[in-house]
């Protein structure tokens, strides 16, 4: 691990992460800043760090792992993110790409704390959007919507089209 952040920058980045974790207590965020060996392919290296880096407790295995890891290579402007198995059904690759894109400009300027903050804020935005979609994905909609549609004389297909 490297000491790539000053005290003030570290506190700011940690504050943003804490705010996301407070809003979504089922999610934990780990940021790893390190010099990744130039010959190491980033994806397998990140997978190895995710699984062997003691970022999650031993209890958080399989579907219980709700970790989001951001790995920043301090030798370059490369970064990668991974999520635990418990988040995979919800957070898709496009959501993670959006988070990495938010961090891209600060990374290019080697402003690691700013990149972490941008990543965490975008992750928060993505989680809010996903949180709003989950009830529809699992068919969990307020009963009143179904009852109102039935009272209006709509068939089941018409009700579903109105809900979604």
pLDDT in tens, the chain (164 residues): 446 678 888 899 999 999 999 999 989 999 999 888 888 888 988 888 887 777 776 556 767 788 899 999 998 888 999 998 888 888 889 999 999 999 999 999 999 999 999 999 999 999 988 888 777 666 776 655 555 555 555 554 444 454 44
pLDDT of 1 reads 43
Cα–Cα distance, 92 to 97 (Å, whole number): 9
pLDDT of 137 reads 67
Q: For residues 78 and 115, is the Cβ–Cβ distance under 8 A?
A: no
Is 154 strand, coil or helix? coil
Compute the radius of gyration of the chain from its Cα atoms. Answer: 20
C-alpha triplet 29, 73, 85: angle, nearest 5°: 35
pLDDT of 157 reads 45
Q: What is the DSSP letter of 87?
A: T
Domains identified in the chain and CATH numbers: 7-139 (3.10.310.50)
Nearest Cα to Cα of residue 54 among 25, 36, 28: 28
> For residue 25, what are its two tokens?
């207590």
Q: In the chain, how many H helices and how many E strands?
A: 6, 3
Calculate the CA dihedral of residues 70, 73, 79, 80 and round it to 10 degrees. -60
pLDDT of 159 reads 46
Nearest Cα to Cα of residue 84 among 131, 29, 34: 29
> For residue 79, what are its two tokens?
């970064």
Q: For residues 102 and 122, is the Cβ–Cβ distance under 8 A?
A: yes
pLDDT of 153 reads 52
């Amino acid at each position: 691990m490297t000491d790539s952040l000053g005290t003030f920058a570290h506190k700011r980045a940690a504050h943003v992460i804490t705010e996301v974790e407070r809003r979504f207590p089922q999610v934990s965020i780990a940021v790893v800043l390190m010099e990744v060996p130039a010959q190491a392919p980033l994806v397998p290296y990140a997978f190895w760090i995710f699984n062997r880096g003691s970022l999650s407790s031993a209890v958080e295995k399989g579907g219980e792992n709700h970790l989001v890891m951001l790995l920043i290579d301090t030798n370059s402007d490369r970064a990668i993110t991974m999520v635990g198995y418990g988040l995979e059904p919800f957070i898709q690759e496009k959501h993670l790409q959006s988070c990495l894109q938010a961090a891209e400009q600060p990374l290019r300027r080697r402003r690691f704390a700013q990149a972490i903050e941008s990543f965490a804020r975008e992750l928060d935005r993505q989680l809010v959007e996903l949180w709003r979609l989950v009830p529809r994905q699992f068919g969990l909609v307020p009963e009143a919507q179904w009852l109102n549609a039935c009272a209006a004389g709509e068939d089941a297909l018409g009700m579903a089209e109105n809900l979604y």
